[in-house]
DNA sequence: CGACAGTTGTTGCGAATGCAACAGATTATA
DNA sequence: TATAATCTGTTGCATTCGCAACAACTGTCG
């Protein structure tokens, strides 16, 4: 655990992190996550190994941050903060998560099941935040603690069920799957 | 004229120069050479403008080095040092230069005529060196001063005639052109 | 078992880069 | 013409990065 604090706005820092991420993505296309070494990443990124450790604790922290950032970017394209908590929005979230799992698994080859647990926490935090923002805006008469609880439950439900959809067969498209589970979710979450 | 001496083997230096060159090539595809500023290049390369000046005196030095390096790489693929001074080799050199002019002009859009003079000197130095090496190896009985003279004359002839071929119509292919001018060159240069 | 090669984090120090400000030159605009 | 805006090189100082070496750990081979 080093991470000598660097200024994240320094252009050198921005560039270095991008080099690391680009190298990492490139290597993920060729090798298993577990056979990629920090040396590999550093070489590919044309940076020194010590510099890697100035930015990330280890390669788990790297994939963690990378997949979290990917999810945030991905999700914000589909569900913006001005959405309302309609069935359509919930569907969008379900579909987004399905597609996110698909993409991540493809990117990480056959290692996604091993990697997902490292990232799961961040994704859920972000997802819950998104859902909570929509709820707060949409249900101004309900107290926030209750909304937090509801957002938490909805988040875990959707994450869990889409994760399962992904590692199992994926016999349906995300769209079909979303339509199928929406009645189940509606039972409790929507007024 | 700054160029605070940097160690050309330092990986940061290698990377920075590559970033500058990549940015430059990219911009050359969009803008005229003369409307590209050092600021443009620096921004595109994600480096500081002051860093640019640590590597190149100005943008002329940049295109100079870039085109020279391109030529050297290009020429060495076609004429290696083990060639003999045959008509075939001369033809290869002529064709190489034609194609080099073509590529450079395409890269620099309609500015090649203005840029070429900056680069011409380096190209000719390199070309003369290539030709001289072949001559020395091939004519061991002739003294070196005479060979230098011959290499110099041959270099300027070929450079000049191919440059002209390029800026004028280019009604013939490099191959046809090489075949056409070879008899003229042969008159004096080949035994 | 021991020897070996490779990976992981960590450190101090020197070199490269970023920043902000500057004067002077060039170019755009009114 | 004037006057603002932009670009050019240059500088001193702060920060980041590369290097080389290190101990600790892992896996492999005989």
Domain boundaries, chain A: 11-57, 64-189
pLDDT tens sequence across B99-129: 888 878 777 655 677 677 767 888 888 899 9
What count of other Cβ atoms lies within 10 Å of the Cβ of residue B155?
22
* Span CA (B56) to C1' (D3), Å: 33
Residues with CB under 7 A from strand D: A 6-7, 10, 12-13, 15-16, 46-48, 50-51, 54-55; B 1-2, 10-12, 15, 37-39, 49-50, 53, 57-59
- Taking the C-alpha atoms of residue B142 and residue A54, their distance in angstroms, rounded to an integer, is 61
- Interatomic CA distance for residues A81 and A97, integer angstroms: 17
pLDDT for residue A170: 76
The CA distance from A127 to A96, in Å, is 11
Q: Which residue is nearest to nucleotide D17 (CA to C1')?
A: A51
Q: Which CATH class is domain B61-189?
A: mainly alpha
Return the higher-pLDDT residue of B191 and A179: A179
Q: Please, where are the H alpha helices in A79-111? A: 87-107
First to last CA, chain B: 46
CA-atom Rg of chain B in angstroms: 19
Residue nearest C20 (alpha carbon to C1'): B50
* Whole-angstrom distance, CA of residue A185 vs CA of residue B14: 56
Helix axes B59-78, B112-138, angle to 10 degrees: 40
Give residue B79's pLDDT: 84
**Angle, alpha carbons A57-A76-A69 (nearest 5°):** 10
Does the beta carbon of B11 lie under 8 angstroms from any beta carbon of chain A?
A: yes
- In the predicted structure, residue B39 carries a pLDDT above the cut 80: yes
* Cβ-nearest to A15 among B11, B14, B46: B46
Footprint of strand C, using CB within 7 A?
A 1-2, 10-12, 15, 37-39, 49-50, 53, 57-59; B 4, 6-7, 10, 12-13, 15-16, 46-48, 50-51, 54-55
The pLDDT of residue B57 is: 94
How many helices (H) and strands (E) are present in chain A, helices listed first? 8, 0
Give the architecture (CATH level 2) of A11-57: Orthogonal Bundle (1.10)
pLDDT given for residue A144 in this prediction: 87
For residue A90, give every residue at least 6 positions away whose Cβ sits within 8 Å of its Cβ, in sequence order, or none. A154, A158, A182, A185, A189, A190
Q: Does A14 touch chain B (CB under 8 A)?
A: yes
Residues of A with CB below 8 A from B11's CB?
46-48
**Nucleotide at minimal C1' distance from the A42 CA:** D18
CB of A51 closer than 8 Å to CB of A16: yes
Determine contact: A48 vs chain B, CB below 8 A: yes
CB contact, 8 Å: B46 with chain A? yes
Q: Does any CB of chain A come closer than 8 Å to the CB of residue B3?
A: no
> Cα–Cα distance between B68 and A153 in angstroms, integer?
64
- Do B99 and B173 touch, CB atoms closer than 8 A? no
For each successive 10 residues of chain A (191 residues), what is the average pLDDT?
A: 76 97 93 91 97 95 88 86 82 90 73 73 88 88 89 91 84 90 73 47
From chain B, the residues in CB contact with A15 under 8 A are 46
Q: Are A23 and A44 in contact (CB under 8 A)?
A: yes
Q: Which residue of B has its CA nearest to A51?
A: B12
CA gap B58, A146 in Å, rounded = 64
Report the pLDDT value the prediction gives residue A191, as an integer from 0 to 100: 47
pLDDT of residue A109: 58
For residue B31, pLDDT beyond 90:
no
**CA B58, CA A72: separation in Å to the nearest integer?**
42
Helix (H) or strand (E) holding B126: helix B112-138
Name the CATH code of domain A64-189 (choices 3.40.50.300, 1.10.357.10, 3.40.630.10, 3.40.47.10).
1.10.357.10
Task: Compute CA distances B179 → A63, A75, A181, whole Å.
Answer: 59, 63, 75
Of A11, A14, A46, the CB nearest to B15: A46
């Amino acid at each position: 655990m080093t991470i000598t604090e660097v200024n994240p706005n320094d252009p050198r820092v921005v560039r270095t992190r991008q080099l690391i991420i680009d190298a990492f993505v490139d290597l993920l296309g060729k090798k298993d996550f577990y056979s990629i070494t920090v040396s590999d990443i550093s070489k590919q990124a044309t940076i020194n190994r010590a510099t890697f450790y100035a930015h990330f604790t280890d390669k788990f922290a790297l994939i963690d941050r990378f997949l979290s950032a990917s999810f945030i970017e991905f999700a914000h394209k589909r569900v913006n903060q001005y959405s309302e908590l309609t069935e359509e929005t919930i569907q969008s979230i379900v579909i987004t998560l399905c597609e996110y799992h698909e993409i991540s698994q493809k990117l990480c080859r056959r290692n996604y099941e091993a990697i997902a647990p490292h990232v799961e926490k961040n994704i859920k935090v972000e997802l819950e935040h998104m859902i909570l923002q929509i709820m707060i805006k949409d249900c101004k008469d309900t107290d926030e603690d209750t909304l937090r609880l509801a957002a938490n439950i909805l988040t875990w439900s959707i994450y869990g069920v889409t994760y399962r959809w992904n590692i199992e067969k994926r016999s349906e498209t995300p769209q079909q799957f979303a339509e199928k589970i929406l009645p189940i979710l509606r039972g409790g979450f929507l007024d």
